[in-house]
C-alpha cells in the first residue's frame, strides 16, 4: 500500500491519500480524542503524540499537529493509516453515527429558502471540491440579513489563509451569483 502525502495551505495540517475511499459520503471532523471514539483510525491517529485534529474526506485523511515538527510525526501517522487499512478494520464502528457531521444547526428565514438553496448548490458544485483539494471542507450554517455563515473544517479550520478564502474567493463568488448576499462570515 502506498500513501501519498500532500501539503495544504495550512502549515499545521497535512493531507494523506491512502488511494482508496476513506468516507463514502460526507465528511467527519474530529477536534479532540473524545470525538474520535467512534473511529478506530481516528483513535490510532490521536494516539500519536502531537496530533491535534483528524478530518476524514471522501478519499483523504487530513491530520493537524500541535507544536511538533512534521518530520517527527509523519512516519507515525503513515504507520497508523497503513496499519488501519491493512487490518481491514472499519473506519467507523458499527452502530456509531454516520460519517456526516451534524448539520442540524442551520438557520435562515423561510422567505430566504430559494436563496439558501442556490447558496448550497454553489457550495456543493463550485466551492467544496476546491476546498477538499486542500484537505478541508466548508459547510453552510446559516443566512441572515444578507450574511452567509459558513463553518470551515479540516485543513481549512485555523488556516492562516482561510479569511482570504472566505472574503476574496467565496464571498465574491456568492455575491456574483446572488445579489442578496452582502457578506460571508465564519462560525
pLDDT for 66 equals 92
Q: How many helices (H) and strands (E) does the chain have?
A: 6, 9
pLDDT for 139 equals 87
> Which domains are assigned to the chain?
4-87 (3.30.1370.70), 107-186 (3.30.300.130)
> Which of 14, 8, 23, 12 has its CA nearest to residue 62?
14
pLDDT for 93 equals 86
Q: What is the mean pLDDT of residues 39-63?
A: 95
pTM: 0.77
- Per residue in 157-187, pLDDT tens? 777 777 777 777 888 899 999 999 999 988 8
pLDDT for 51 equals 96
Q: Are 136 and 62 in contact (CB under 8 A)?
A: yes
Q: Are 45 and 51 in contact (CB under 8 A)?
A: yes
Residue 78 has pLDDT above 90, yes or no: yes
- What is the chain's Cα-based Rg? 17
- Per residue in 86-115, pLDDT tens? 999 999 987 655 444 445 679 999 999 999
pLDDT for 153 equals 84
Dist. CA 163–CA 78, nearest whole Å: 30
Residue 73 has pLDDT above 90, yes or no: yes
Amino acid at each position: 500500500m502506498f500513501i501519498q502525502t500532500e501539503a495544504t495551505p495550512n502549515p499545521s495540517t497535512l493531507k494523506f491519500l491512502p488511494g482508496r475511499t476513506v468516507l463514502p459520503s460526507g465528511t467527519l471532523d474530529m477536534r479532540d480524542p473524545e470525538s474520535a471514539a467512534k473511529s478506530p483510525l481516528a483513535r490510532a491517529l490521536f494516539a500519536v503524540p502531537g496530533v491535534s485534529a483528524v478530518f476524514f474526506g471522501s478519499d483523504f485523511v487530513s491530520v493537524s499537529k500541535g507544536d511538533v515538527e512534521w518530520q517527527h510525526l509523519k512516519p507515525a501517522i503513515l504507520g497508523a493509516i497503513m496499519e488501519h487499512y491493512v487490518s481491514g478494520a472499519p473506519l467507523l464502528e458499527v452502530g456509531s453515527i454516520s460519517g456526516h457531521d451534524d448539520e442540524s444547526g442551520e438557520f435562515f428565514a423561510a422567505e430566504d429558502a430559494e436563496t439558501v438553496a442556490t447558496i448550497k448548490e454553489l457550495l456543493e458544485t463550485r466551492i467544496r471540491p476546491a476546498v477538499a483539494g486542500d484537505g478541508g471542507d466548508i459547510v453552510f450554517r446559516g443566512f441572515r440579513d444578507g450574511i452567509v455563515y459558513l463553518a470551515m473544517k479540516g485543513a481549512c479550520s485555523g488556516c492562516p489563509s482561510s479569511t482570504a478564502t472566505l472574503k476574496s474567493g467565496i464571498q465574491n463568488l456568492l455575491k456574483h451569483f446572488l445579489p442578496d448576499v452582502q457578506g460571508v462570515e465564519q462560525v
